[in-house]
Structure formats: structure tokens, C-alpha cells
Amino acid sequence: MSWLLSSTNMPDHSLTFVKKSENRLLRRAALFRICEGAIPNCFVTVPWLLVLFGAAVYAQPFDIVLRNGRVLDPDSGLDAVRSVGIRGGKIAEVSTQPLTGKRIIDAAGLIVAPGFIDLHSHGQDEENYRLKALDGVTTALECEVGTGDIDAFYRQRAGKALIHYGATIGHIPLRMKRLGDSGNFLPADKGAHMAAQPEDISEMARRLEEGLQQGAPGVGMGVMYTPAATAVELLTMFRVAARFRAPVYVHVRAGVEGLNEVIGYAATTGAPLHVVHLNSSGSKFNTPHFLDIVESAQRRGMDVTTECYPYSAGQTQIQSAVFDDGWQKRLGYNDLLWTATGERLTAETFAKYRKQGGSVIMFSNTEEMVRRAVLSPLTMIASDGILRNGTGHPRSTGTYARILGRYVRNENALTWMEAIRKMSLMPVQRLEGRIPAMRQKGRVQVGADADLTVFDPRTVIDRSTYEKPAIPSEGFRYVLVNGTIAVEDGQVQNTTPGQPVRAPK
């Protein structure tokens, strides 16, 4: 303390009290009293004035207090009733004592958890953000397909988003543009089936690097959708990612061979690897093998992570390479549901809709395999969701409530803490190597961003179905984004506190 103040009349026992006090508020109040008693003989330096100013700010009421909720922090392991004080978009206090705030929210009987972070959310517009918030999500990222223009993606959403947003620089959109594909989201022709020439590969690598320089969270890649992409092309993209230590988020080709392929690229280049929707790519045939391979790679020191969603059906575009010749070895026509009408397909309607293009749901897995993926300690939870005008897959709206209501409360297959870790801390740990600011998310701790979800453990559940995918989840009483209430009493508020999730340039 000698550098802060000096006084011929400063009592030594007072300074001892200040040094030893464990309570920050008491410590700062004591400093006020010491200085008041010492002035005018106390010489106050500029740093000391800053301490006084900080104490004054600290003594101000909190903006919001979540009172007496069951706080679950997957980082520290805290599972106890606490009051959480929020100020300036940050968690300022987590206390056993009553806190005073401008707004007091009674959280008794509710769980207070970090806001959920969805690494695999194709829906990046107001419709999808609203339904994500109602499922407890505070950050939704498009990491698989990504975007071909990082600056434009973030510019279009700046100041307009309910929740935090972001996208990788995507190999798929870059390939589609370079080769002149006619598709609007996934490759429909040249982007899937045309071989890239050396100059094409060089240009895609240049654009990939440009996107990473602009702050992309990583590289998106859908090898399943680009069968004409050679090993040389893919390895080139991995090398670019490796130079930036940027994770590559990959939809692998079908089968164990597809997973081994990208692990080989990661091992060769040193790029971090994230395997998207392991349960979908692994399917009913290979999910246990996929889990074993990821675990083996981690044991050998590789930076490999993965995710899953809690549904036995997937969704994609019917005109994509997923339905190139040979798909019938994995699925039948009746395993396909046309999202626009809800009808199951036949050979005739499949041919019709494949020419037309659009979204189809594929019942390609079993509940046993989904459960195995969800319960694995290797997997984080990510939705792979998108709705367009209320049409799509129920995973877009119900993924997180389904985990909590079904796997935790109803089946006791996961603990509350295990589930919340999969939905908050684990995604943050995947992101924070590239984006240091993410270390302030996924936690309920002093200094962390006030991205929080407050839900009722007795009622939280998904309600959307394959026939009605836009029905929101229930049980999420409050969702806070950057310290702003985005959902109150289960209703979305008219606010746009969402911020870009972006790597430093």
C-alpha cells in the first residue's frame, strides 16, 4: 500500500486491516475511512484516486440481481444457491449474501447457468435467433458451411442481433463461387462435381487466408458435399488453417474412412479439428467407431473435438451430393420427409424434388446411437439447425431443452452439470484458443460476460416436432445476453444486444 498513500499520521493497524480484509467492499470502505481521517495530512496520489473511484463504482447498485437461484458453473464446479449481481454487461458478484440492484429477479427454484453456445447453427437471421434464445442459446455460430465473405457477414448483422453471432470462412461457398455453382447454400452441380485446377486451389486458399485475417473463428468445410475435392485441395485448406491455429469444422465423408481422412489432414498439418454432428456422420452403422477414433486421437495429443445433436433424423438439401448415386445403400425413399409438405417420399417424388431442390429430413439413425453420442464425455451439443419461414427440423428450436428435459430430468442419464458443460463450457474451450475473448463466456464467475440462461428444471422441455418444427421450447424463464434481458417470462424482448464473435485481426 505504500505506493498508494503516505501520511505521517496514518495508523499502522488500519493498513493492516485493509491488507487482510477478504471482502472487497469492506476493504475499499476501510480505505475511504482511513483517507478521510488522515486528510489533510494524507497525500493522495493519482493511483489512490483511481482506487477511490473504483470503490465508488463498486458500491453502486447492480443493474440486475438474480436472487437465490441454483447457480451451476461448469468451470469451477459451483453448484449452490447464490445471488448473481450484474453490472455493465458483466457478472460483478456471485454471493451467498443478499444483493441490491435496480432490477431484482427472484430465481428461487430456478437454475442459473451460462448461456448455451451453439457452434453449428445455419440459421443466422432474426427468425432463428429468436427461437434460439427461447432454447437458452446466447451465442449461435455458423461453423460448418460458413460464409464466403467474413466482413460482409458481420457487417450485415451489426447492431441487429438478439444473440451473439459469427461464422467461419467456408471452403464450400468459396468453392461454389470459384467454380460457378448454381446452388444457393450447398453445392448443386459444379461446386460438388468439378475438379479444381491448381489456380482454383490457389485462389481458394488466398480467400481462406483473407477470411482468417478478417477474424473468422475458423475454417468451415463440408467434404461430404464436395466429392470432387482432391486430397491436395483439402490438404491445402488445412495448411492455411494451421498457420492461423484456426480450427477446421468438418462434415466428413460417409463412413469411418471419411473420419480417418480428415484426422490425417489434421495430423499432417497440425490444424485443430472439430468433427461436426458425429451422430449424423457416424449414423447407425459407425457412431461407436467414430467415438473410439476421436478418443484415440485425443489420447495421442491431437487437438480433435466433436459434437452431436439429440435427434435420430438429419436434414440436408435434396439436390446435394449426399444423394448422388449409391445413397440407397444407407437409406430408403420412405426414410425421407419433404419439409415443405411433411410427406414421406417415393421414388417418383424423390426424382421430382431432386430436380426442384429443397430441404429434406432423413431418418438415418437409431435412438440407441443418438443416446450413445449424447452421453459420451467427448461430445458437446450443437443443433445443426435452420428454419426458413417456420419450415425445417425440430433441432433448430428444441435441441437444448431436449437435452435438459429428456436426458437429465426424465432419464437421469446426465447430471445438470454434465449437460450444461456440454452446452456452454466445452464449446467455449473449442473457441477460446482462436478467440481469447471467449474465455469470458461459458462461466458463472465474477468478471465473466453476463450471458446467462435461467430455466425451471421442473418444466424445461422441447415441444417442436418434425411436423411442427417452429414451436419454441418451454421452461426458459430468463435469458440474458451481454447483461441485457433478451427473454423475460418466456417472451422474447425487443432488444439487440448480440455482439460479433470474431478473432482478433
Instruction: Answer whether residue 88 is part of any domain.
Output: no
Place of cell 469492506: 26
Asked if residue 295 and residue 406 are part of one domain, the reply reads yes
Q: Which of 402, 398, 432 is nearest to 419 (CA)?
A: 402
Residue 75: exposure state from Cβ atoms within 10 A (0-12, 13-18, ≥19): middle
The pLDDT, as a whole number, for residue 404 is: 98
Q: Is residue 230 domain-shared with residue 132, that is, in the same domain?
A: yes
What does the pLDDT read at residue 364? 92
- Model pLDDT, residue 60: 74
Residue 91 lies in a domain: no
Q: Is residue 481 part of a domain?
A: yes
Place of cell 498457420: 243
CATH number at residue 275: 3.20.20.140
Within a domain: residue 53?
Answer: yes
Find the helix or strand (DSSP H, E) in which 448 lies.
none
Assigned domain for 67 exists: no
On whether both 234 and 307 belong to a single domain, the answer is yes
CA distance 424 to 62: 24
Cβ neighbour number for residue 352 with a 10 Å cutoff: 13
Amino acid at 32: F
**45 in a structural domain:** yes
Residue 504 lies in a domain: no
Query: Same structural domain for residues 288 and 422?
Result: yes
Residue 195: CB atoms within 10 Å = 11
Is there a single domain that holds both residue 269 and residue 166?
A: yes
Give CA–CA dist 401/394, Å, rounded.
11
Its domain, for residue 426, covers 114-312+365-492
- Regarding whether 258 and 389 lie in a shared domain, the answer is yes
Q: What pLDDT, on a 0 to 100 scale, did the predictor assign at position 31?
A: 41
What would you measure as the largest C-alpha separation in the chain, in angstroms? 95
Contact 501, 167 (CB under 8 A): no
Considering the domain architecture, whether residues 131 and 225 belong to the same structural domain is answered as: yes
Residue 374 and residue 279 share a domain? yes
Picking from 15, 42, 59, the residue at the C-terminal end of a domain is 59
Three cell numbers, residue 462: 422441447
Residue 449 is classified by DSSP as B
299 and 448 in a common domain: yes
pTM: 0.88
Q: Domain boundary at 44, 59, 74, which?
A: 59
The answer to whether residues 212 and 282 belong to one domain is: yes
Looking at 270-353, which runs of residues are DSSP E strands?
273-275, 304-308, 313-317, 336-338, 343-344
Domain end (from 59, 84, 99): 59
Please tell me the predicted confidence (pLDDT) of residue 391.
96
- List the chain pLDDT tens, one digit each, 505 residues: 333 333 334 344 433 333 333 344 334 444 434 343 443 443 444 444 444 444 444 457 899 999 999 999 999 999 999 999 999 999 999 999 999 999 999 999 999 999 999 999 999 999 999 999 999 999 999 999 999 999 999 999 999 999 999 999 999 999 999 999 999 999 999 999 999 999 999 999 999 999 999 999 999 999 999 999 999 999 999 999 999 999 999 999 999 999 999 999 999 999 999 999 999 999 999 999 999 999 999 999 999 999 999 999 999 999 999 999 999 988 999 999 999 999 999 999 999 999 999 999 999 999 999 999 999 999 999 999 999 999 999 999 999 999 999 999 999 999 999 999 999 999 999 999 999 999 999 999 999 999 999 999 999 999 999 999 999 999 999 999 999 999 999 999 999 999 999 999 8
Q: Which residue has the cell 475511512?
A: 33
Domain assignment of residue 501, yes or no: no
In terms of domains, do 15 and 163 share one?
no
Q: How many domains, in total, are found in the chain?
A: 2
Tell me, yes or no, whether 32 and 137 share the same domain. Answer: no
